[in-house]
Chain A
Amino acid sequence: MSAKEKIENSSETSEKEGKTESELIPIYIMGKRYEVPEGLTIMKAMEYAGYNFIRGCGCRGGTCGACGTVYRKPGDYKLQVALACQKAVEPDMYIAQIPFFPVNRAQYEFAELTSAPEEIFKLYPELFRCVACNACTKACPQGIEVMNAISALKQGNIAKAAELSFECIQCGLCTSRCFGELAQYHMFQLARRIYGATIVPRAEHLAEIVRAIDEGRYDDLLENLKSVNEQELKKLYQEREIEPVAAGEEWKPKDTSHL
């Protein structure tokens, strides 16, 4: 956690603590009842309750996949999943975090792999234990069609598996629910690596710009930046021109001398 985040968190916590008792809601963390301020994320609510994360917590921004969480609400047998850093607590939620799952992760020399589907079969033969129960898809906090991506791998379609699993953040909740004991998220990572390295067409414009960088086209600019003092550097950074979110294809910066 950065220093800035710490300050923000503590100010938020103290603000919540200032609220009255009636705004506290009951939640159950691993079966034990706690009262926590409403509006907190599961992660912050657990910290409020006294938990100190040394695992199961990473980016706090919904992208690192460290805080996979399973919960259930009263009156419903269905298990739900969420990332603890993203989901706000709800009254009477039963919560358990699954920060890690001890699943098979194959070792490989990536440079030796080809785009053949058999590469996946060789490294993860347990792929073929999938029974299409779909528990994985139901357990994905990212809304990925996990079962369909596994089906694609069984069918030898690495590209389809890579595309379907693009939003995967490796939280491992799919695996924790898998009847066949598959390591879906590791298989998908391998599929995306193979896809990126050997299947997707190379971007020509990227190769061009890399060549230009290698040939020293931006060396002077970098040297200039290195030579300015900290104050000046901050000013340059704050005053930099940012591409507007809704900018179209035709957008160009005011200074086009580096394009």
Chain B
Amino acid sequence: MGIAYYPGCTLKTKARNLEESAIASMGALGLELEELPRWNCCGGVYSLANDDLIHQVAPVRNLIRAKEQGKNELVTLCSFCLNTLKRANLLMKENAEKRNTLNSFMDEEIDYDGEVEVVHLLEVLRDEIGWEALSQRVKVPLQGLKVAPYYGCTLLRPREVAIDSVENPTILREFLKATGATPVDFPNATRCCGSYQIVSNPANISEYTWAILSSALSHGAEALVLTCPLCDYNLGQGQKELVREHSEFKEMPFLYFTQLLAIALGLDPEVCRFELNYGAPESLLRVKKLLS
């Protein structure tokens, strides 16, 4: 039996590279990702208002879909979806009054009491497969590839839904080590890329990008590993701007962690859909003799 899987909207368009490499890799590891039969957008960002329940409806409805499938675990790949689903789940577990209101509002659905656990695919790799077991499945060790693990915000904040230590996360470093790559820790690994400010204040994005990428570059990284489609987009847009503004700026390719996983597992690079990546990571992988 496979794991219930919630993709999120962006994984069906711009971030197909994240989804397809994940499905293929997990298949190779013997775990099937079963997409929920009906799902809706989770809302992207979690509502931070105490008196606002309408924005909890969307994430909770997806948790209900997982429960309907008889699943007690729902895996996500997108950091935003993880955060929103997991926080809404916590609300349903811990706040009886709001739980009752939401259940009675969604009178067309079965009642939900927080029975499903929301997890990120990185947690599945760490907790259900294990780094040691994962490293044994690696066919193409990513030797010599210096990758900076970039977490962004929503995997680690707030504390109650963090998938790892808020101050000193290691999950991506451990993942990179298991694939044979060289993790390059850098101070701004959990700094915000600007998030939805790309819509309202796009002019500021290159500044946020600079803070992250210059820090990774100065620590010797050749590429950045990501989990979030919004980080991917913003850092890409920011780099375009930086290249225009500063001729000396050195561009850096980004890869989703699942793409590195697929390469390390020796899968057909087609599943990585590199054409959707910023900064042509294949050329770096070819230089490192990881792609033919």
Contacts and interface: CB of A to CB of B under 8 A. Distances in A.
Contacts of A154: 9, 40-41
A150 B38 CA distance: 12
Interface in B31-65: 38-41, 43, 54-55, 57-58, 61
Interface residues of B, number: 16
A228 interface: no
Interface in B114-147: none
Interface residues of A, number: 19
Contact of B12 (A134, A147, A148, A156): A156
B43 A131 contact: yes
B97 interface: no
A117 interface: yes
Nearest to A179: B54
A114 to B, nearest CB: 14
A155 B108 contact: no
A235 B224 CA distance: 79
B41 A156 contact: no
Contact of A133 (B7, B9, B54): B54
Contacts of B9: 154-156
Contacts of B41: 128, 130, 132, 151, 154-155
A137 to B, nearest CB: 8
B38 A132 contact: no
Contacts of B40: 130, 132, 147-148, 150-151, 154
Interface in A122-158: 128, 130-134, 137-138, 147-148, 150-151, 154-157
Contacts, number: 46
B280 interface: no
Given A132-B58, A179-B54, A151 B39 contact: yes
B13 interface: yes
A118 B38 CA distance: 22
A154 B43 CA distance: 11
A137 B40 CA distance: 13
A80 to B, nearest CB: 14
B28 interface: no
B11 to A, nearest CB: 9
Given A138-B108, A147-B40, A151-B39, A131 B54 contact: yes
Main secondary structure on B side of the interface with A = loop
B243 interface: no
Contacts of B108: 134, 137-138
B14 to A, nearest CB: 9
B106 interface: yes
A150 B12 CA distance: 14
A133 B39 contact: no
Given A154-B9, A156-B12, A134 B38 contact: no
A137 B106 CA distance: 12
B284 to A, nearest CB: 29
B57 A156 contact: no
A131 B55 contact: yes
Contacts of A117: 13
Contacts of B7: 155
A156 B13 CA distance: 6
A222 to B, nearest CB: 48
A133 B12 contact: no
Centre residue among A137, A150, A155, A157 by max chain B CB count within 10 A: A155
A162 to B, nearest CB: 16
Nearest to B7: A155
Contacts of A137: 108
Contacts of B38: 148, 151
A137 B9 CA distance: 20
Centre residue among A132, A133, A147 by max chain B CB count within 10 A: A132
Interface string B70-105: 000000000000000000000000000000000000
Nearest to B47: A131
Contacts of A132: 40-41, 43, 57-58, 61
Contacts of B12: 155-157
Contacts of A150: 40
A134 B39 contact: no
Nearest to B14: A156
A131 B57 contact: yes
A155 B106 CA distance: 22
Nearest to A117: B13
Centre residue among B40, B43, B54, B61 by max chain A CB count within 10 A: B40
Given A117-B13, A154-B9, A155-B12, A134 B106 contact: yes
Interface of A: 117-118, 128, 130-134, 137-138, 147-148, 150-151, 154-157, 179
Closest 10 CB pairs of A and B: A132-B58, A151-B40, A156-B13, A132-B40, A155-B12, A154-B9, A154-B41, A155-B9, A156-B12, A133-B57
25 contacts: A128-B41, A130-B40, A131-B54, A131-B57, A131-B58, A132-B40, A132-B41, A132-B58, A132-B61, A133-B57, A134-B57, A134-B106, A134-B108, A137-B108, A147-B40, A148-B38, A151-B39, A151-B41, A154-B9, A154-B40, A154-B41, A155-B7, A155-B41, A156-B12, A179-B54
